[in-house]
Structure 1
Amino acid sequence: MSHVDNDSWQKHQSNAVKAFLKTAVVIDNQPWVKSSNRNVHLPISTDTGFGDENTFVLENPDVEISEHNEHDLNIRAISDVFAEKGIACAFVLPDDDAGEERDSKVNKVLQAAKISDLIVIDWYLERQSSSLTLEILEKIAKADDSDNGRLRLLCVYTGEPLGEEIFDEIKQYLKRGGVTVNDVSDIDYCAENASTIVILRNKTDTQAATLPDELIRLFTRFSNGLIPAFALASVGAIRDNTHHMLTRFGNWLDSSYIANKLITNPSSDVSEMLRDLFVTECDNALGLEKISDKYLSNDIIKHWVEANSDCIGDCQVNANYSINRDTILMLLDAGNITDKGFDLPNNSFFKLAENKRNLISESLAGGVDNSKKSEYEFGRLVAFKREAFGRSKLTGSADWTPTLTSGTLLRYCLPEKNKEPMDVEVAEAGATIIDGERNSILTVDKSKEIKYEYLICFTPACDTLRLKDKTPFVFLKAFEDAKKYSLVVNDDSRCEIHLRLEQKKPVIRTFDFMPDPETQKIRAIQDDGDIFSFTDSNGIKFTWLGELRYSRTSSEMAALVSNWMRIGISDSEFIRLAGAGKF
């Protein structure tokens, strides 16, 4: 890997981080400001009316003048550098002598931390005591863990000599809050996981004026990837365009929204439409900033390949050629793939059959296992709007629970009577049997006893709202198949379940559910262990596994209907083949 290529990739990562980072908060109980002729320790702050957790004013700038010591924080130095980088820096300055309640101090910090990308916190927020800092770190970790991960860089900034004892205690309290981090081998007093970086720095060794640059540089570890850099830059673009987006949604639309909601059936469609319109504005922001061109183009992919060339494998296609770093760079210049392979710029052809194309993924990922792990994650991201046991955030300001709608994926345990062996002749014929008691179709599989069954709700979304009585819901059965599958989902043990959706011989099931009287929808309940479930009117319990994206659900429904709408021979076979260009 050349030095130039490595520099290009690092610059790409840095640009994504700069586009993303907007906010920082500094928490310290010994702030001071260096002026031209004196050092001023800041006294107690007063409420300005804009939220005292983020702002302060000097009551008397001429009081308490003294030389600073190793525990003081030069807030002018640190705020100036953050401002130069385009990062808004807030300060929370607990006062040891103000008589402020401990809970109030903690709450101020947590409120400021909610909206901050970077957090700098003093080790001693109380005189010679780290207990308040450790309590705050634990509660920040708990909040981040409840969000299923929150991108965060934490810096514990201290006048104390650095040591493993302090850093181990920091990591211990983060772990108590649900965030486990592992030491970074090449950076002193630094640990990380996929969403959190924590570092310990000394105020004398790392001056306040140099700390922001180090934090920003460390934050690039979150952008060390093609997709992470794209995601960071995308969020940054939306943040930059937020205020313009708000001008599109003014109070002049209130009356028309209410009117349309009243005269539309179902009225909830108007609410969904407005949400989609706002999402479209976010998409416009990404388009205006050309995020895809800047962060997902072939040129950027080449930088990624060069930067990761040591990890790219060599996968043999046949005796003549293989998929490796050079091949991938060549194929990037080739352009779009055809049915048989790639047309290369030198007028030659690179043949790559469909059953060999997985080798590209295996080469890029550095092995079969890594390839499958990455492809399954990508497949779930594409297919699912939200997952029960994936990376989706399932908690919010309100007590959110899933509702049964089009695209909902459920799992349930078959009743014991359906596990009994069926008639051999019927099973060998591959026929379907009508289960009269539940008026559903049961496909026989005599090869093994079925424990679970997986179902996708195909009831149209508009028929899942404003329900008053027991309502039937229609489901398509998804078959477990580790060799031929079109959907991968995690179950509650975080194991990957491979599902095949059968269009030619579909199995349709119907179950009745009673709606929630208040929302008039079928709502799940949360069981122990953060598992959501539905129960039908017969007491059958269904575990919620996720909700497919609307486009994916519509595609599967269209394929099913298309198969059902097939008609027999209605034309000359000769003319049909001629129309397909066969002659």
Structure 2
Amino acid sequence: MTVMLMVDNRIRAERFLRTAVLVDDMAFGDSPDGVMTASLEGGLPELGNDSAGPRRLQADLEGGDAVVGTEALDAKSVISGFAALGITCAILPPEGPDLQGARNESILALAKTADLVVLDWVIDRVEQTEGGGSFFRLDTNLKLLLEVLSADRASGNRLRLVCIYTGHPNLSGIRDEILKKLGETASSVSLPVPTSAIDYIDFNGARVVLVNKSLRGPHVANESPDEEGEVVYKRVAESDLAAFAVGKFSDFVLTGTLPEAALGALTAVRDNAHLILRRFSSDMDPALLNHRALTSEAAAGEYLLELIADEVSSVVTSYEAGASIMADSRVEARIQELLDSNSAEVSSNHDEIKKYFLGRSSNIPKKDRGVGLLVPGSESDASNAVEVDNKFSVLSSFARDGASYGLREVAPILSVGTVIAPVGGDGQGYPYFLICLHPACDSVFRSGDNSRKKQFPFLEMKVVDDDSRNFHLIAQDRGSYVRAYAESLSFANLVGIDFRAADDCDSVQAVWQRKDARWCFEPTDTVKSLNGPHVDQFVWVGDLRTGKAHKLLQSIANLSSRIGLNEYEHLRIQAKDL
């Protein structure tokens, strides 16, 4: 990545990040009196032992004893560092063992919502004995880390940066301990195993970065082996912690054009949130409530959400960074970065490739799809480029992709553009898809509709088994991409299925199946499937973007409204025969 892009991304990250929380038992200097010493030759006490242990190690760089200091965290320097970047930072000490206590509940609540989470690793717990005495037990923040990552997984695998900021010198040991626990978690819930580098761990959309507190000795510019081959980890002072965390967030999240654009758009929404709130003022409540009285609870609610969504869309559209991200200079720099990472396989001339992607040439520099020029491995395996194209196609078609969302408080609602598929057997893919074409305004149940049941029209789409045929939809199915087609875009290809409204609202809502971790719609009666067996549940695949759903509706309407009569047809046929 060029220096220009790195600096620009760092600025984008600073503008986006708003909150941070740091958990450290030395936050307010509430440490025991006195100074303890421990021999380095015997090693550090194992984490979790019920014995007095070092709180902060200031190891003599030439060996000997490690002096355990009791100086407090410089909270003022930490807060000032974050404040200088426009980030609000809360600093809290933990309370009691096993994350019990009101203070720890607050810590968990903050950690789950903060943009940045910083955890001290070694935590001293004060334990009470049966005889009324007390002792110190050396513990870690591992449980808190796992709790935060677990909450992120339940909310759809949130992108998360956690920084382990510790005076403990054995960062490699800490990394291995975290890796072991995350590996056990991955095995128990069928997630990809965590991966790691020298100073960080990646797991299920989260990155855990490890860094030493700057207690004594010179700062180290980066992580590298010393003369004896041992890894020397970077040390960061409290005043530099904010800049370090923001830089790591930028390196983790802003890895290309799409995430840069998305982060810029989200920043624009955050910056203009007060304007949106001011526009939706309470003096218009009487008109909104009258709208509800004339329609229904669900219809008024959906209309209100559309108004808010349009307002947010307007803010994003007017955000000037959207255009600057696609400017020639930035695009050319990104192309060069991709070409450099794929230089061993791209045999074409780099200048010709740049001309093609910058719109200065219509000729693809080699006999392949254009995207293959920038995807590593495509020279030897074209499926890599196909995978990237399919992934972008799903993004282009689905406003909300079921494979990318976990358990949410708001269940999917059956309406125009909702894509469902029959629940198959273990390991079986979706045999077909159904796209709901019921107008949004008619997808709600009016007051007085005692049956609470309605028939919804769906367009049937079969899975393509021949890559050469045309298709109308690309969707995800158990980690792979499948294509589907409608035999005809006509009313004759529609199927009606009855669904019942949820008890607590005026619309048809999906039901969360915790065992299979998916949303499902349940029809009132079993439905005869296209492939034979009856179906009593449909998996929510996702919601199409409005334009995509309306395009399908428009195609069906155009075909149905076609006039099948040519008053001069007899003359045309007669002329052909002559």
Which residue of 1 is the match for residue 438 of structure 2?
A: 459
Is 1:259 the equivalent of 2:290? yes
Aligned partner of residue 114 in structure 2, secondary structure: coil
TM-score for the superposition, normalised by structure 1: 0.73
- 8 Å CA contact 1:181–1:192 kept in 2: the answer is no
Q: Residue type of the partner of 1:146?
A: A
Which residue of 2 is the match for residue 223 of structure 1?
A: 254
- 8 Å CA contact 2:182–2:194 kept in 1: the answer is no
The correspondence for 1:250, drawn from 281, 300, 316, is: 281
Which residue of 1 is the match for residue 391 of structure 2?
A: 377
Q: Indicate the larger mover: 306-315 or 199-208.
A: 306-315
Distance 1:311 1:503, change over 3 A: farther
Q: Residue type of the partner of 2:199?
A: Y
Which residue of 2 is the match for residue 406 of structure 1?
A: 416
C-alpha displacement at 1:494, in angstroms? 2.6
Q: Indicate the larger mover: 170-179 or 112-121.
A: 170-179
Which residue of 2 is the match for residue 529 of structure 1?
A: 516
Which residue of 1 is the match for residue 158 of structure 2?
A: 150
Determine the C-alpha separation between the residues in 2 that align with 1:180 and 1:314.
Answer: 28
Which residue of 1 is the match for residue 487 of structure 2?
A: 502
Which residue of 1 is the match for residue 458 of structure 2?
A: 475
Is 1:166 the equivalent of 2:147? no
C-alpha displacement at 1:258, in angstroms? 0.8
Determine the C-alpha separation between the residues in 2 that align with 1:7 and 1:248.
Answer: 40
Is 1:19 the equivalent of 2:6? no
Distance 1:411 1:258, change over 3 A: same
C-alpha displacement at 1:461, in angstroms? 2.3
C-alpha displacement at 1:530, in angstroms? 1.7
TM-score for the superposition, normalised by structure 2: 0.74
User: For residues 76-102 of structure 1, what are the alpha-carbon distances to aligned partners after superposition, in whole Å with 9 as ceiling and x for unaligned?
Assistant: 111111111111111113367xx9982
- 8 Å CA contact 1:123–1:130 kept in 2: the answer is no
User: For residues 49-108 of structure 1, what are the alpha-carbon distances to aligned partners after superposition, in whole Å with 9 as ceiling and x for unaligned?
Assistant: xxxxxxxxxxxxxxxxxx993773111111111111111111113367xx9982423311
Determine the C-alpha separation between the residues in 1 that align with 2:424 and 2:177.
Answer: 49
- 8 Å CA contact 2:95–2:103 kept in 1: the answer is no
Which residue of 2 is the match for residue 424 of structure 1?
A: none
C-alpha displacement at 1:557, in angstroms? 0.9
C-alpha displacement at 1:226, in angstroms? 0.7
Structure 1: stretches of 5+ with no match in the other structure = 33-40, 45-66, 317-321, 336-341, 343-349, 416-449, 574-583
Distance 1:333 1:164, change over 3 A: closer
Which residue of 2 is the match for residue 57 of structure 1?
A: none
- 8 Å CA contact 2:332–2:354 kept in 1: the answer is yes
Which residue of 2 is the match for residue 307 of structure 1?
A: 337
> Aligned ranges for residues 232-243 of structure 1 at < 5 Å?
232-243=263-274
C-alpha displacement at 1:378, in angstroms? 1.5
- 8 Å CA contact 1:8–1:303 kept in 2: the answer is no
User: For residues 160-208 of structure 1, what are the alpha-carbon distances to aligned partners after superposition, in whole Å with 9 as ceiling and x for unaligned?
Assistant: 22242222223344455668774554xx331224632212222223221
The correspondence for 2:355, drawn from 324, 330, 336, is: 330
- 8 Å CA contact 1:313–1:365 kept in 2: the answer is no
Distance 1:108 1:558, change over 3 A: same
Determine the C-alpha separation between the residues in 2 that align with 1:471 and 1:210.
Answer: 61
Determine the C-alpha separation between the residues in 2 that align with 1:562 and 1:357.
Answer: 37
- 8 Å CA contact 1:181–1:191 kept in 2: the answer is no
C-alpha displacement at 1:266, in angstroms? 5.0
Which residue of 2 is the match for residue 436 of structure 1?
A: none
Structure 2: stretches of 5+ with no match in the other structure = 33-66, 126-135, 216-234, 527-534, 570-578
- 8 Å CA contact 1:141–1:174 kept in 2: the answer is no
C-alpha displacement at 1:307, in angstroms? 2.0
Determine the C-alpha separation between the residues in 2 that align with 1:190 and 1:70.
Answer: 28
User: For residues 264-297 of structure 1, what are the alpha-carbon distances to aligned partners after superposition, in whole Å with 9 as ceiling and x for unaligned?
Assistant: x355433223222222332333344412023233
Determine the C-alpha separation between the residues in 1 that align with 2:367 and 2:505.
Answer: 48
Distance 1:124 1:410, change over 3 A: same
Is 1:6 the equivalent of 2:16? no
C-alpha displacement at 1:131, in angstroms? 4.2
- 8 Å CA contact 1:323–1:359 kept in 2: the answer is no
Is 1:135 the equivalent of 2:143? yes
- 8 Å CA contact 1:313–1:363 kept in 2: the answer is no
Q: Residue type of the partner of 1:476?
A: L
The correspondence for 2:308, drawn from 264, 268, 278, is: 278
- 8 Å CA contact 1:19–1:232 kept in 2: the answer is no
User: For residues 544-563 of structure 1, what are the alpha-carbon distances to aligned partners after superposition, in whole Å with 9 as ceiling and x for unaligned?
Assistant: 22222222111101111112
C-alpha displacement at 1:254, in angstroms? 1.7
Determine the C-alpha separation between the residues in 2 that align with 1:12 and 1:555.
Answer: 38
* RMSD after superposition: 3.4
- 8 Å CA contact 1:13–1:224 kept in 2: the answer is no
User: For residues 446-470 of structure 1, what are the alpha-carbon distances to aligned partners after superposition, in whole Å with 9 as ceiling and x for unaligned?
Assistant: xxxx983322122222222115424
Is 1:387 the equivalent of 2:401? yes
Distance 1:516 1:210, change over 3 A: closer
Q: Residue type of the partner of 1:552?
A: K
C-alpha displacement at 1:375, in angstroms? 1.7
- 8 Å CA contact 2:417–2:436 kept in 1: the answer is yes
Which residue of 2 is the match for residue 86 of structure 1?
A: 86
Determine the C-alpha separation between the residues in 2 that align with 1:130 and 1:257.
Answer: 58
Determine the C-alpha separation between the residues in 1 that align with 2:203 and 2:564.
Answer: 58
Determine the C-alpha separation between the residues in 2 that align with 1:287 and 1:458.
Answer: 28
- 8 Å CA contact 2:413–2:508 kept in 1: the answer is yes
- 8 Å CA contact 2:406–2:517 kept in 1: the answer is no
Determine the C-alpha separation between the residues in 1 that align with 2:501 and 2:351.
Answer: 58
Q: Indicate the larger mover: 244-253 or 144-153.
A: 244-253
C-alpha displacement at 1:332, in angstroms? 4.3
Which residue of 1 is the match for residue 476 of structure 2?
A: 490
Determine the C-alpha separation between the residues in 1 that align with 2:150 and 2:473.
Answer: 32
C-alpha displacement at 1:29, in angstroms? 1.6
Determine the C-alpha separation between the residues in 1 that align with 2:368 and 2:488.
Answer: 25
The correspondence for 1:126, drawn from 120, 124, 127, is: 124
Aligned partner of residue 123 in structure 2, secondary structure: coil
